[in-house]
Structure 1
Amino acid sequence: MAAGKQQQTRPWCPFCGMDVGRPSETVQRTMKEFPAGRCQCGAVYVSDATGHNIGAAMVECLVFACGDEWDLAWELIPEDDYLTGIVEDYDDVTHQICPKRNLDGRAVRGILYFVRLHKEVAEIAARFAKKKEQEAKAAAAQGGNAVMPELEPVRDPKRQKRQANKLLVKQLVEAGDINALVDLSFDDKRTLRFLQKLLYQPAPEQRYKTAWLIGQITARLSTREPAPVADMLHRLFEACSDSASMPWGMVEAIGSIVAARTDIYGAFTRHLLNFMGDEGTREAALHGLVEIAATRPDLVRSTPFYSLFPLLDHDSARVRGLTVRLLGRVKAKEVIFQIMALQNDQTEITVYERGEPSKTTVAALVTEAVVHIQLV
């Protein structure tokens, strides 16, 4: 071998030793942050060209292995449920391993991160995938029309990036400038934390507006970087479980994020039911379920939604109205007569559409719900 030459090899699977193909952006995946691939032995892998994003790569690879079932991925335990492996010194340009970490004067710092589920967990993931396909077909049959947002264009790496701060984010939220907030979120991930802080306000009009904006922003951000959005969801759930503070806006934001990207975060739907027992979060949870049911009624029907039936007799008119609206959207024929019993309830309530308040009555929502339920 000539002096100065380094031996380059094709990347291999750390589990079976077989050569693996070049990672790519596959059409079926809902997560797009890292190119991914599959080995013949069943392992999956993602490529991080910089080697600096291993945490995000770990999350995406595990979720990819679980068929984009976030709930399943979060419940798995390393070694007990799956194994991991890393192949370092990977050059994504030539699809080679470069031990000297330099190729023609270009630094090579990439990694391939691997996950292989144990047989029992892999079978569960396969069943989840089959169930998801069946639910998607059922959603289409029920009139579901969820649309995945278009892939965000790659931002020019040479552009002047902006740094987020509380005042800037507040100004953009007040102006309703979604495009600027999406750009800022790509530039500085602290934007999501500043947005979360803006939720904590007593006026419901401001909370619902901010929550809706967060849903729109994270929907677009998640087309390329879903992991920060998933992290935000977990922070919101943690904030809701903090008994020392009022979770103003947190449940509203969870509902907006899930509703805007049911294809990725739909598994969080069932967790909204946990907020039904608290008067401070019940209406926000119902609103979130209503938003999700607008495009994916199957996600709500797959939960113990029958536990909501007694809310049709709740003392609060808004709780009755939101429950009627939700049950209409999921075509709950099981309680159509209980819903119709409210057709003379002329109590005026406020509901929110795209973050904006709208006046209506329980009776008007009953009429709307009956139409949904009776549609063939």
Structure 2
Amino acid sequence: MGSGYEVIEPRCPFCNERLDRPRELEPMRRGDFEYGVCRCGAVYVHDVTGFNLGAAMVEALEFACDADLDLAWDLMPDEDYHDALIEGYDIKKHLIYPAGHDYEGHRVKGALSFIRLADDLRDTKEQGVRQKYHTASPPPLAGSRTSSAVKAARKKRFSKREVAKAVQKEDLELLTKMASKDRLVLRKMQRLLYNADPKKRWQAVVMLGAVAGAMAQADPAAVGDLLRRLLYAANDSAAAN
């Protein structure tokens, strides 16, 4: 286009198939990511910040290996697997903005990190990866019927807006209760650390520390996962600078 503005749909860099929107799975160890699986067997990991690409690529490799860490760390790039990266991805619109910004000039920082195992390795791991991926079903369409069990399960998940509102109110008691019911709350609070407003960013720092401290004895594993994600995020940010 003459304006230099371009939008394209997400496609697999290995087979050119259209990609489904990445989904949230149970928290993994290295960051705040969403996951996807292409029809060709390639996996992809979404990093909304675009700053954690190293951690996202490692997460994609381990996801492709169905969490077999011994196998993942024994593989050789370009021999046992191939990787690829697509930047300028907006997960809400499920579109790629190659210029790195949308038509209103807003930056699009998201990135998709891809791993495709060699055929023999993929044959042994793909079924487990797909089963894990499909445990996180996308939300039903508006107006569709849902079972009481699904509705009950959904009550244990809190939206990003609910989390942000509780942080803004500095409601430690509410945030702690939310985090005890839904581990993804800590991940959503971590996202607020990247807010462009310094005041809101510091507010998120204070509340995240307070909630983690309140949960440390009851759920040390969740707090440990948070600390790992923060360390990897800091490492990626330092490398970028």
Bucket of the pairwise TM-score, normalised by the shorter protein: 0.5 to 0.7
Q: Please tell me whether the aligned partners of residues 42 and 117 of structure 2 are also in contact (alpha carbons under 8 angstroms).
A: yes
**2-side partners of 1:40 and 1:19: how far apart?**
9
Distance 1:228 1:121, change over 3 A: farther
- Within 2, Cα distance between the matches of 1:127 and 1:20? 18
Partner of 1:16, secondary structure, is coil
Unaligned runs of 5+ in 2: 130-180, 194-199, 233-241
What letter corresponds to residue 92 of structure 1 in structure 2? I
> What does residue 107 of structure 1 align with?
107
- Match status 1:220 vs 2:223: yes
Q: Name 2:64's counterpart in structure 1.
A: 65
SS of residue matched to 2:17:
coil
Question: Number of paired residues?
Answer: 166
**Which of 205, 216, 219 is the equivalent residue of 1:161?**
205
Aligned to 2:183: 151
Q: Is the 8 A contact 1:218 1:229 kept in 2?
A: no
How many angstroms apart in 2 are the aligned matches of 1:47 and 1:121?
23
**Match runs of 1:10-49 below 5 Å:** 10-26=9-25, 29=26, 31=28, 33-49=32-48
Indicate the residue corresponding to 1:327 in structure 2.
none
| CA–CA separation in structure 2 for the residues paired with 1:108 and 1:18 | 22
* TM superposition shift of 1:33: 2.4
Please list the CA deviations of residues 4-52 of structure 1 after superposition, one character each: whole Å capped at 9, or x if unmatched.
37221101111011111111114xx552721111111000001112211
**Equivalent position SS for 2:49:** coil
CA–CA distance in structure 2, aligned partners of residues 83 and 25 of structure 1: 24
- SS of 1:47's equivalent? strand
Alignment of 1:203-352 (within 5 A): 217-222=220-225
Shift in Å, 1:220: 3.5
Task: Please list every run of at least 4 consecutive aligned residues from structure 1 whose deviation after the TM superposition is greater than 4 angstroms.
Answer: 126-129, 224-230
TM-score, length of structure 2 as denominator length:
0.57
**Structure with a larger share of its residues in helix:** 1
CA distance 1:114–1:46, shift in 2 (3 Å): same
Distance 1:30 1:72, change over 3 A: farther
* Conservation of the 8 A alpha-carbon contact between 1:30 and 1:68: no
Percent same amino acid among aligned pairs? 34
Q: How does 1:164-203 map to 2 (within 5 A)?
A: 179-180=212-213
Q: CA deviation at 1:126?
A: 5.1
Query: C-alpha deviations, 1:143-188, integer Å up to 9, x for none?
Result: xxxxxx94141225421525xxxxxxxxx9xxxx9942869xxxxx
Corresponding residue for residue 123 of structure 1: 123
Deviation for aligned residue 1:125: 2.7
The CA RMSD over aligned residues, in Å, is 3.5
Residue in 2 that maps onto 1:96 = 95
Note closer, same or farther for the CA distance 1:33–1:81 as it changes in structure 2 (3 Å cut).
same
- Check whether the contact 1:59–1:227 (CA below 8 A) recurs between aligned residues: no
Deviation string 1:330-349 (CA, Å, 9 cap, x unpaired) is: xxxxxxxxxxxxxxxxxxxx
Residue deviations 1:193-251, cap 9 Å, x none? Answer: xxxxxxxxxxxxxxxxxxxx7x95344342x6766789xxxxxxxxxxxxxxxxxxxxx
Q: Distance in 1 between matches of 2:126 and 2:19?
A: 22
Separation in 2, partners of 1:225, 1:19:
35
CA contact (8 A) 1:33 1:225 kept: no
Distance in 1, Cα, partners of 2:13 & 2:86: 7
* Cα 1:160–1:24 shift into 2, 3 Å: closer
Distance in 1 between the 2:46 and 2:72 partners?
19
Aligned residue for 1:255?
none
